[in-house]
């Protein structure tokens, strides 16, 4: 590794991180928006790669099943995703344990951002497991790759998805994790369909979303979801609730499996 690269990853990184966070807050972004980069954000203008080039992608929705779809955070806000107090605020380690990850599992961090969850999951599944880290912003994936190199992590595969397709192999995944990102999907039905196809028969979707029902959660209402709304949307798209965990400070944690009795109209 070059001395310049070592400097960036070492002594200079904390300073750059603090400056980036200050810039992020100064530019007027909410300090507690979604933690990922999935969806459509006209103000942030993220790069969406193949999504922009495809003529087959239908217009983005602004509402779905009575819910307003939120805009997403640009890669410019990436430092906020790995802020020092995130564990204290969200108890991520407690949520991670509820995923019940085991060595050798093949899992996905959908809307991975710069890899806050991907790196933790990679340690849980071990060298014989894989983490498919999906994002539509190549800038986020580049930041993820830098963090993987810094930590000598080799079991994470970065995948540039599109607005309608996370590009996951069919029938291959034990778990798909979505952290504060589903409410930003601009094409929820297409994405949920692709997720169903990617799961193994025993696979689950683990969904984390800020609790709309709790006014004490310091998140803008647009970036929260109620259990009722989550259940409504997932059941309508071929999923059934498998279990849930209600002990996190700010978030719902709900687990879904494919519903074998579901039929499209």
Domain ranges of the chain: 33-258
- CATH pick for 33-258 out of 3.40.50.150, 3.40.50.261, 3.30.360.10, 2.40.40.20: 3.40.50.150
Q: Kindly report the average pLDDT of the chain as a whole number.
A: 85
How do residues 163-176 score in pLDDT, each as one tens digit?
999 999 999 999 99
Residue 69 has pLDDT above 60, yes or no: yes
Q: Is the pTM of this model over 0.75?
A: yes
The pLDDT value recorded for residue 55 is 59
Residue 143 has pLDDT above 90, yes or no: yes
How do residues 3-14 score in pLDDT, each as one tens digit?
323 333 333 444
What stretches of 27-185 show up as alpha helix (H) in DSSP? 50-53, 78-81, 86-90, 92-98, 116-125, 138-150
Q: What is the Cα–Cα distance from 84 to 13, expressed in whole angstroms?
A: 13
Task: Please state whether beta strands 106-110 and 130-135 pair in parallel, antiparallel, or not at all (unpaired).
Answer: parallel
Give the pLDDT mean for 247-254.
98
How do residues 93-138 score in pLDDT, each as one tens digit?
999 999 999 999 999 999 999 999 999 999 999 999 999 999 999 9
The pLDDT value recorded for residue 236 is 98
Residue 16 has pLDDT above 50, yes or no: no
The pLDDT value recorded for residue 264 is 67
Residues whose CB falls within 8 Å of the CB of residue 216, separated by 6 or more in sequence, listed in order: none
Q: Which of 181, 162, 174, 180 is nearest to 257 (CA)?
A: 174
């Amino acid at each position: 590794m070059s001395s310049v690269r070592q400097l960036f990853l070492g002594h200079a990184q904390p300073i750059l991180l603090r400056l980036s966070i200050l810039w992020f807050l100064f530019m007027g972004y909410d300090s507690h928006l979604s933690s990922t980069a999935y969806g459509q954000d006209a103000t942030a203008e993220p790069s969406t790669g193949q999504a922009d080039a495809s003529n087959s992608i239908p217009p983005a929705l602004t509402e779905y099943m009575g819910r307003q779809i939120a805009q997403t955070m640009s890669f410019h806000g990436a430092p906020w995703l790995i802020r020092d107090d995130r564990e204290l605020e969200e108890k991520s380690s407690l949520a991670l344990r509820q995923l019940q990850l085991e060595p050798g599992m093949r899992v996905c961090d959908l809307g991975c951002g710069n890899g806050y969850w991907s790196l933790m999951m990679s340690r849980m599944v071990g060298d014989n497991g894989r983490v498919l880290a999906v994002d539509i912003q190549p800038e986020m994936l580049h930041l993820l790759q830098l963090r993987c190199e810094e930590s000598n992590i080799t079991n994470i595969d970065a995948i540039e998805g599109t607005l309608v397709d996370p590009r996951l192999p069919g029938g291959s995944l034990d778990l798909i994790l979505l952290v504060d990102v589903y409410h930003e999907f601009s094409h929820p039905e297409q994405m949920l369909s692709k997720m169903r196809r990617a799961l193994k028969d025993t696979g689950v979707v683990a969904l984390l979303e800020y609790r709309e029902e709790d006014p004490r959660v310091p998140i803008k209402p647009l970036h929260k979801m109620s259990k009722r709304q989550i259940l409504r949307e997932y059941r309508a798209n071929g999923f059934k609730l498998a279990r849930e965990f209600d002990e996190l400070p700010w978030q719902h944690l709900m687990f879904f499996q494919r519903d074998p009795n579901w039929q499209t109209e």
